Structure 1
Amino acid sequence: MAFLAPAFLALGLLAGVPLLVHLLRRRVGRVIDFPAVRYLERMEQEHSRDLKLRNRLLLLLRLLAVLALALAAARPIARLLGVGHAPMAVAIVVDNSLSTGVVQNGQVRFDSLRTDARRLVDELTADDRAWIVTADGRVIGGGPEALRAGLDALQPVGGRGDLAAATRRAVGLARSGMPRTPVVAIVSDGQRSSFRSDSVVQSDEVPVVTLLRGGPLPRNRAVLQATPEPVRWTPGGTVTLAVTSPDAAAWRLTLDGRTVARGTVPPATLDAPARVTQRLASTSSGWVRGSVELDADALRADDTRWFAVRVAPPPTVNVRGEGGLFLGAALGTLVDEGRLARARAGESRAVTVSGADAPGTRLPVLLTAPRDPIGVGEANRQLERLGIPWRFGAIARSQVLARVPARGGAADTSSISARAFDGTPVRTRYPLQYSPGSGAAAPTSAPDTIATAGGAPWVVAGEGYVLLGSPVDPEATDLPLDAAFVPWLLEALARRLGDDGRLIEASPGQVVSGLRDISGLEAPDGTVSPLASDRLTVPAQAGVYFLRRQEARAGALVVNGEPSDSEFAAASGTSANTNADATVAGLVVGRDVVAATDATQWQDAVFSRAAGQALLLPLVALALAALLAEAYVSGR
């Protein structure tokens, strides 16, 4: 037996009150003999046995009533005769990932998942604690009415979500409701992408009951990629798209809602999609929203993929010879292609590209390490003069490989910085040492380590500067020989040092940080939501969201689903609800993990985990019966 409110057991001490009254009534005073009462003494002796039995019965009934009420107030639960189920702490994980939005036989699959969860909520009582946890990380709590309202408002999100993280959170919520019986109930479409083998959840003693609502696997078309190049259009560029389709599929490309190109791709698989590179030019300026669209099919969420580009005149750059021959050649190529423009005399916002030991530089700057170690002292003095909080350390000549730091627990291998730096051999380097507050002006934003070499920062950036810890020379590093170096150089000049702002690509539910200078987020419908911190949870719906700095657009957040969620492949045969136990075992490990084959079995399995029945009503009935019996005996 367990108690939901054990503190009320202290009320059992009140059982001492009738016992104390009973004992006080037995107190015997001084005896005085009166001849006239001898007949009364004889009568008392004749009826003393009946009186003692009656008083003891009254005492027991009063004690029973008090103890029953005390136990009822403590709300005991036990596997005894009771009413309904014992109070439970139920966390319901509802899979609302992109794949649940598939339409089959005129019905969205997510609607059936929501119906199953609602039926489970309908069986909850006011004594239960319950939560709805979605695949995109949302938690809905409260009473049954609040849960029903939350379920009605749920919709499939534009990405895969993280069913493992949702289950892990549900286990913690259910455990927090103890001594109520904790249970986690999962309802999902059983997509393989949701049941990743590297995301096993340890449920320990918390029971987990899963219902996998699979179905026939539809033939699905999807846009897997829509990548604009370069990072800044002046005013033209290209868009590379990738499409998977079981048959030939027509596509169209839009800029700010206007169709600017059309075409058709042949049948292709997810592993080998059909790719097209389309050259475009935009008549708009500033940040432009674009998309690649297919005709709607059963899963409409992946028929559109979004991208964003910045359309503006080319950034201006002041190239100085101290940066070296290779850096000058790369910048000259970008100037010849019209992606950069050479600065005119006296232009204040032009980016200076030079060696760090060159005199007379001013922010914004892209600086490289001095080619001669003798220049390190002068380079550090120039950094101090510019207010850059970094210093060059002692020269190191051993060969190491550059690495891109992990972001959010994992290295981003798809970014331009990763393609340019990750794995690049570095033979000569000056480890960069962070020295905040020693410059002419304190930095207003935290620096960003773009790449490391030998465990120390090698390429760093901050407000108005980008700093490389090696000269751009093949004898020092293979960086200038890498094909990704020139795209990264353009990105650094246009975005990190220019006025383009930030371009962030993310999936629904992710957390983006470092938005210190961003005041709002502009949704696709034009509404602006203020940002109260430098962290942002990516919206659930796909699209292009513009970052706002007061009234100006300072970047774009491009939200798309993961390509893997477009492949309809059931996990461990869940399309026919077979071998579901193996599927659940791949997601959750614990003492009591089961899979149900239908909604009724799922619901029964959840409530069968309750620790018996609630004994509140039986104990209250017992207390009332004792009081009625006490009144009857007292009346006689």
Structure 2
Amino acid sequence: MSFLSPLFLLAAAAVAVPLVLHLFHRQEGQRVVFPALRYLLKTEKEHARRIRLRQLLLLLLRCAVVVVLALAGARLVLAGRGAAHPPTAVVVLLDNSLSSGRVLGEDRVLDRLKDAALEGLEAATAEDRVWVLRVGEPWDIAVPGSARAARTRILETGVSGARGDLSSALRRAGQLLADADMGAGEIHLVSDLQASAFDISSAAETGEYPVLVWRGLGDGMPANRYLLEAQMGGGLPPLANRRTELAVGVSGGDPDDEVTVRLFIDGRVRGAAAVGPGQAAVLPIGPFAEGWVEGYAEADPDALRDDDRRWFAVPVRAPPRVGRSGDSGPFVESALEVLEEGGRIVLGGSPDVLLTAAGAGLPDSEVRTVVHPPADPSLLPALNRRLADAGVEWRVRDDVGAGEVTVAENRVPVDLEGVRIRRRYRLEASPGAAGSVLARVSDGTPWLVATEAAGRPVLLIGSPMDDVASTLPVDAAMVPLLEWFVTGWGAGGIRAPGEVGRSLPLPSTATMVEDPVGVRWPVDGSLELRSTRHAGIYRVFAGDSLLELQAVNPPVRESMTEVLDEAGVERSIAGARVVEDPRDWGRVAFTRRQGWESWRALLGVALVLLLLETWLAASGVGPAARTAPISSPSPPRTAS
């Protein structure tokens, strides 16, 4: 037994009021004995005993009412598993990521999650503080509120197109509870518990606060079929008036099912192919005029419909004119000749891109420039002087350890897995230098770096382009990589599609972005657009001029619907308490429950006591006693 508001027990001191009134109300009248009324003494004593008994009962009833009201005000809690609990801070992690839009039977997964989240708040009181974090909306700002406001927010939640990062959400929830400093706090994780939503490298820590995990969907989630990213021309931009092809992969689902993939460009079907899971549909398309080509590939909808469409936007341009400076070596020259013979580039003329050996001509270049270092390390100081003269804030150092390495981190749309690098230089950035590492070797050293000099793109390569430094010149990747150097990189080439919920990088001259639903966002080109809430094509403008198109697709990891089992949940969340049976969820929420709060019952008892006191007091009031004057006895008469 305990009290939630123990200070209210001081009100029990009011029990002294009926006691004092009872004592002061007792009056002892002057007794006058009439000899003629002595026979009434016995009756009078019996009546007095009844009056005293009634007055004693009234006193007890009035004292009991005061005590019961004091107990109700102090919120008496009886031992047991009731709803009473101290004021508690609760963070509800409601997983509305893309996978929650999956249909199970007649309901979406999100509908079941919302029902569970509401059930977990049934025992909440006005003294609790509740946050509702929508896991699938990382841009959303959650503020604390009442349980009633939290229920409204839960009911208003819809399916997001973004990925849910449950590990990050749990850490954020733990920080919110620590900042709230309410003493009691807990986290309600209501999710489909996708394995891909957790960081498997370490368990999510939430501090001292318990995490209640709803696992009411069980393990019976069927495999999901989905499309992979659509890739045009092997990752290279198509050339004007030439045919190309688009490849889109199919993954997941029943391995025996055949899926029809359709290609839409400008709202019209331009091709279709039937493939099975684990295969790619390759669709020939084109030719196209110079400009932008946008569209999407889609499959027939299944239980999770939002991952059955993949958008793409690619530029179509004329073959670029390539200039050369310095001795590029026989391997580079041979690869350029192959590209020219295939109509992919034009050698000579006013260049669109400059390929320079050891930085020759770099300071005077006004176009995109690709710099590959010399085989002789004694020429590196001259290369670094040219980089400095051109305004490039990166340097090439000859202090990397010996030994063969591979390309371990590759952001270039060319497969470099088979390339072995025997000699490489270290690409070193000056403090505060801008640049992006496009590829690293297996020891972590940057191998390809994209940067800028005087507003023009510059690409630095970390190895000489000969067969002594690497196997690249004799590898099948040589020609595609060189083509990407001169056509795809830094020229508004094919940009990898963005992901819903992630920031969108913008050109420095961008002033506005139009999203797929037609909303226009004023932007600063030095920043990134964070409002990527919809899959589709985003149009980037500088004033009224279209700069580029960017495709944004649903995150592929959301399509991987494998669910963690109970052991996996406990490994991924420190201190997790997993609730498998949905019927138990409402009973285990609010872990610091103190028992059954009895104030409602006590108020009912007080009402009954007051009614009883009223009836008992009224039963002692009858018609006023009628009294007649009693004449004094006449003196005895004497005979005259």
TM-score scaled to structure 2, two decimals?
0.70
Which moves more between the two structures, 166-175 or 544-553?
A: 544-553
Whether 1:179 and 2:175 are equivalent positions in the alignment is no
Q: Does structure 2 conserve the Cα–Cα contact (< 8 Å) formed by 1:291 and 1:304?
A: yes
In the alignment, which residue of structure 2 is the partner of 1:465?
458
Whether 1:398 and 2:402 are equivalent positions in the alignment is yes
In the alignment, which residue of structure 2 is the partner of 1:162?
165
Aligned to 2:579, which of 565, 588, 595? Answer: 595
The one-letter amino acid paired with 2:211 is V
Distance 1:134 1:564 in 2: 18
The one-letter amino acid paired with 2:373 is A
Whether 1:258 and 2:261 are equivalent positions in the alignment is no
The one-letter amino acid paired with 1:252 is R
Give the total of aligned pairs: 528
In the alignment, which residue of structure 2 is the partner of 1:294?
299
Aligned to 2:246, which of 212, 224, 239? Answer: 239
- C-alpha spacing 1:199/1:429, structure 2 compared with 1 (3 Å): closer
Encode CA deviations 1:213-246: one digit per residue, 9 max, x unaligned: 3275446442234222242111342211222453
How much does 1:187 deviate?
1.4
- C-alpha spacing 1:102/1:469, structure 2 compared with 1 (3 Å): closer
Aligned-partner SS, 1:589? coil
Q: Does structure 1 conserve the Cα–Cα contact (< 8 Å) formed by 2:404 and 2:423?
A: no
- C-alpha spacing 1:467/1:603, structure 2 compared with 1 (3 Å): same
Whether 1:209 and 2:221 are equivalent positions in the alignment is no
Distance 2:424 2:562 in 1: 48
Q: Does structure 2 conserve the Cα–Cα contact (< 8 Å) formed by 1:225 and 1:243?
A: no
Q: Which runs of 5+ in 2 are unaligned?
A: 11-69, 602-640
Q: Does structure 2 conserve the Cα–Cα contact (< 8 Å) formed by 1:518 and 1:534?
A: no
Distance 2:225 2:336 in 1: 41
Whether 1:507 and 2:499 are equivalent positions in the alignment is yes
In the alignment, which residue of structure 1 is the partner of 2:49?
none
Aligned-partner SS, 1:232? coil
In the alignment, which residue of structure 2 is the partner of 1:50?
none
The aligned runs of 1:474-623 (5 Å cut-off) are 474-500=467-493, 503-511=495-503, 518-531=510-523, 534-537=527-530, 539-563=532-556, 565-572=558-565, 581-590=566-575, 593-598=577-582, 600-610=583-593
Distance 2:270 2:216 in 1: 41
Distance 2:318 2:3 in 1: 72
- C-alpha spacing 1:77/1:249, structure 2 compared with 1 (3 Å): farther
- C-alpha spacing 1:199/1:537, structure 2 compared with 1 (3 Å): farther
Distance 1:343 1:507 in 2: 39
Q: Does structure 2 conserve the Cα–Cα contact (< 8 Å) formed by 1:584 and 1:593?
A: no
Distance 1:616 1:461 in 2: 70
How much does 1:92 deviate?
0.8
Aligned to 1:449, which of 437, 450, 473? Answer: 437
The one-letter amino acid paired with 2:105 is N
In the alignment, which residue of structure 1 is the partner of 2:310?
305
Distance 2:463 2:222 in 1: 53
Distance 1:210 1:97 in 2: 17
For the pair shown, the structure with the greater C-alpha radius of gyration is 2
The one-letter amino acid paired with 2:490 is L
Aligned-partner SS, 2:142? strand
Distance 2:549 2:519 in 1: 15
Distance 2:514 2:202 in 1: 34
The one-letter amino acid paired with 1:147 is A
Distance 1:395 1:585 in 2: 46
Aligned-partner SS, 2:303? coil
- C-alpha spacing 1:608/1:470, structure 2 compared with 1 (3 Å): closer
Q: Does structure 2 conserve the Cα–Cα contact (< 8 Å) formed by 1:217 and 1:568?
A: yes
How much does 1:479 deviate?
2.7
Whether 1:129 and 2:129 are equivalent positions in the alignment is yes
Distance 1:314 1:555 in 2: 19
The one-letter amino acid paired with 1:250 is T
Encode CA deviations 1:493-537: one digit per residue, 9 max, x unaligned: 33443244x724343334566875544433123322234562444
The one-letter amino acid paired with 1:226 is A
Whether 1:434 and 2:429 are equivalent positions in the alignment is yes
Q: Does structure 1 conserve the Cα–Cα contact (< 8 Å) formed by 2:224 and 2:561?
A: yes
In the alignment, which residue of structure 2 is the partner of 1:39?
none
Aligned-partner SS, 1:571? coil
Encode CA deviations 1:526-579: one digit per residue, 9 max, x unaligned: 32223456244473433333444444444554333444543554433xxxxxxx
The one-letter amino acid paired with 1:522 is E
How much does 1:355 deviate?
0.8
Distance 1:294 1:92 in 2: 35
Distance 1:462 1:385 in 2: 15
How much does 1:471 deviate?
2.1
Aligned-partner SS, 1:352? strand
The one-letter amino acid paired with 1:154 is T
Q: Does structure 2 conserve the Cα–Cα contact (< 8 Å) formed by 1:160 and 1:193?
A: no
Distance 2:76 2:481 in 1: 65
Distance 1:615 1:285 in 2: 78
Aligned-partner SS, 1:489? helix
Distance 1:417 1:201 in 2: 34
Aligned-partner SS, 2:124? coil
- C-alpha spacing 1:302/1:393, structure 2 compared with 1 (3 Å): closer
Which moves more between the two structures, 285-294 or 537-546?
A: 537-546
Aligned-partner SS, 1:525? coil
The one-letter amino acid paired with 2:394 is W
The one-letter amino acid paired with 2:578 is V
How much does 1:76 deviate?
11
Q: Which runs of 5+ in 1 are unaligned?
A: 13-67, 405-410, 438-444, 573-580, 619-636
Distance 2:100 2:421 in 1: 47
In the alignment, which residue of structure 2 is the partner of 1:633?
none
Identity %: 30
Distance 2:90 2:536 in 1: 34
Distance 1:323 1:506 in 2: 35
Encode CA deviations 1:320-364: one digit per residue, 9 max, x unaligned: 4622221122222222223323342xx3x6211121253475133
Q: Does structure 2 conserve the Cα–Cα contact (< 8 Å) formed by 1:452 and 1:459?
A: yes
Which moves more between the two structures, 562-571 or 330-339?
A: 562-571
In the alignment, which residue of structure 1 is the partner of 2:382?
378
The one-letter amino acid paired with 1:594 is V
In the alignment, which residue of structure 2 is the partner of 1:365?
369
In the alignment, which residue of structure 2 is the partner of 1:48?
none
- C-alpha spacing 1:294/1:435, structure 2 compared with 1 (3 Å): closer
Q: Does structure 1 conserve the Cα–Cα contact (< 8 Å) formed by 2:244 and 2:286?
A: yes
In the alignment, which residue of structure 2 is the partner of 1:352?
354
Q: Does structure 2 conserve the Cα–Cα contact (< 8 Å) formed by 1:506 and 1:558?
A: yes
- C-alpha spacing 1:126/1:339, structure 2 compared with 1 (3 Å): farther
Which moves more between the two structures, 107-116 or 88-97?
A: 107-116
- C-alpha spacing 1:171/1:359, structure 2 compared with 1 (3 Å): closer
In the alignment, which residue of structure 1 is the partner of 2:88?
88
Distance 2:431 2:174 in 1: 43
Q: Does structure 1 conserve the Cα–Cα contact (< 8 Å) formed by 2:122 and 2:586?
A: no
Distance 2:445 2:279 in 1: 41
The one-letter amino acid paired with 2:312 is F
- C-alpha spacing 1:450/1:223, structure 2 compared with 1 (3 Å): closer
Which moves more between the two structures, 136-145 or 106-115?
A: 136-145
